[in-house]
Structure 1
């Protein structure tokens, strides 16, 4: 009995094993067929892809020319709003170039040597002056308080020449005697105010005056100086910048003529 049961169990196990083996073999065959189908499908797909790639690369597709754009009959209306900001402009940053070193600059050193001032003529309070070019010598009083020089006249006549005002006047020669007549254009007229006296109007002319080695053409007022000791008065318009006055002396720059 025991052997019978063992035999049945053995047969049952053998049948089960055989059946399981058949089932596994069928599954393996089915899986094998499925992989073969998948492999065949992939092979076909790769072959078709290669053929299409060859056709595409072998014969380039024709280039399609776009249709010309027709301009609209009316100008398009731009949408309202702020204008677009312009693109930023690229600027090149300056490249710093190292300048060569400059040679040292020579600095001029001021010379401490004494500067010689122009020599000024020294005159006394009274000198002899030459008036004009005719040798008319007059005794002159040097007056640093007077702005304009003045000369005494004996006669005065006004007349016109080429539409301008002229003066004809005579100067008495106290040393040689006689009169010296001059004609000069009238420059202007000035009012001269003297101490304890009313102002009087005097004509102004240009005269050449020589004292020592200084010769100048200056403006002079014409006046009646017969009552004065000195018919010629030399003011600052002759002295300034050229003459030093020593009021303690007389006839330093000139010599009195012999009588």
Structure 2
């Protein structure tokens, strides 16, 4: 029998980091119904370097009036079904994701999430074998935030 693994408990929303992209304290909704994680991004440029496909994109944080420009290797194009049931062809990048003390590589789709409350969504592929979700709490793995009970605004 395989050794039991201890899973970290996370809330329905957490502050996460994408350290190689220079993004810290990103408000993210944890969504076990979504397969792939998604980041709000505006595509600025596609280019090739050393035989790899790259994408330069901007991540806007309207509340702080901040725009961060990022670059990453694009590993794939993938059809992703959004919350409204439409399938969109999206760019996929793979980059380290940090939730609490855990850092691991995650596949993330780049999408226009400007009409969503959270600039990032964490899907079940990133959660699997690492986290258990407590949907009645928030900020359980968010340094600098006091954990909250309930579903919040």
Q: TM-score, normalised on structure 2? A: 0.82
Tell me how many residue pairs correspond in the alignment. Answer: 144
Structure 1 residue runs of 5 or longer lacking an equivalent are 1-114
**Larger fraction in strand:** 2
Contact 1:149 1:220 in 2 (8 A): yes
Tell me, yes or no, if structure 1 residue 155 matches structure 2 residue 43: yes
Q: What is the root-mean-square deviation in Å for CA atoms of aligned residues?
A: 2.3
Deviation at 1:175, TM superposition (A): 5.5
**Larger fraction in helix:** 1
User: What is the match of residue 121 of structure 1?
Assistant: 8
User: What is the match of residue 183 of structure 1?
Assistant: 71
Contact 2:90 2:109 in 1 (8 A): yes
Whose Rg is larger? Answer: 1
**Secondary structure of the corresponding residue to residue 190 of structure 1:** strand
Query: Alpha-carbon deviations, 1:78-113, whole Å to 9, x = none?
Result: xxxxxxxxxxxxxxxxxxxxxxxxxxxxxxxxxxxx
* CA distance in 2 between partners of 1:147 and 1:196 (Å): 15
Structure 2 residue runs of 5 or longer lacking an equivalent are 147-153
Alignment of 1:11-50 (within 5 A): none
Q: TM-score, normalised on structure 1? A: 0.51
Deviation at 1:154, TM superposition (A): 2.7
Distance 1:125 1:196, change over 3 A: closer
* CA distance in 2 between partners of 1:146 and 1:241 (Å): 16
Contact 2:32 2:124 in 1 (8 A): yes
Distance 1:235 1:198, change over 3 A: closer
* CA distance in 1 between partners of 2:16 and 2:82 (Å): 24
**Secondary structure of the corresponding residue to residue 241 of structure 1:** coil
